[in-house]
Chain A
Amino acid sequence: AQTVTQSQPEMSVQEAETVTLSCTYDTSESDYYLFWYKQPPSRQMILVIRQEAYKQQNATENRFSVNFQKAAKSFSLKISDSQLGDAAMYFCAYRSFGGAGSYQLTFGKGTKLSVIP
């Protein structure tokens, strides 16, 4: 079974600065997807960014980018120019590429990010 580990329960960043959230995972599969989801105080889950394991290029979405190290099974999220609205819980998640068509995401326990004005 796959496991996802987020070793930083809480982090803080100064507004306009850059912060990196860590995520490691354990899998024996070669093809899979990795995700970062954001959960603000409203508790609505929002997809931040997605990475396909077969792609060597790191995904980017505006101020959000990832550092995907497949051999090390590491998938960190970098938030540049942090804004107050970035304050939230961030969850790293893993999904197998193939299988029976289910969409069973395996989630980490989350990192609570605070943004200091």
Chain B
Amino acid sequence: DGGITQSPKYLFRKEGQNVTLSCEQNLNHDAMYWYRQDPGQGLRLIYYSQIVNDFQKGDIAEGYSVSREKKESFPLTVTSAQKNPTAFYLCASRIRQGAREKLFFGSGTQLSVL
């Protein structure tokens, strides 16, 4: 089945540690996105990538980094510079279909600080 796979489901970070969240899609989608969700909040865009080897900052990119070396993969690294990393992280992808385009979401990763 085609879809977006995020791993791990739960992740714990120690102080000063970088952690990487995985996002893989087999939908052959061009664009991929990372969103952060905090309790009682909507989703906020961290980074997005429209094509391989290219990505742009979203609204809250500070303390995060990404790479897009393959079309299928868009990993997110939460660096030690992100002082409040505890949140639910959602990866998404989309393919352009004109007015009918939409985002496809993964099942998310819950990141907590030890």
Contact = CB atoms under 8 A, between A and B. Distances in A.
Nearest to B107: A44
Contact of B103 (A43, A47, A101, A110): A47
Chain B interface secondary structure, helix, strand, loop or mixed? strand
Nearest to A42: B107
B42 A107 contact: yes
Most chain A beta carbons < 10 A, residue from B42, B44, B48: B42
**Size range of the interface on A?**
20 to 34
Given A43-B88, A102-B48, A103-B103, A109 B42 contact: yes
**Size range of the interface on B?**
20 to 34
Interface string A98-114: 00011111011110000
B28 interface: no
Nearest to A97: B99
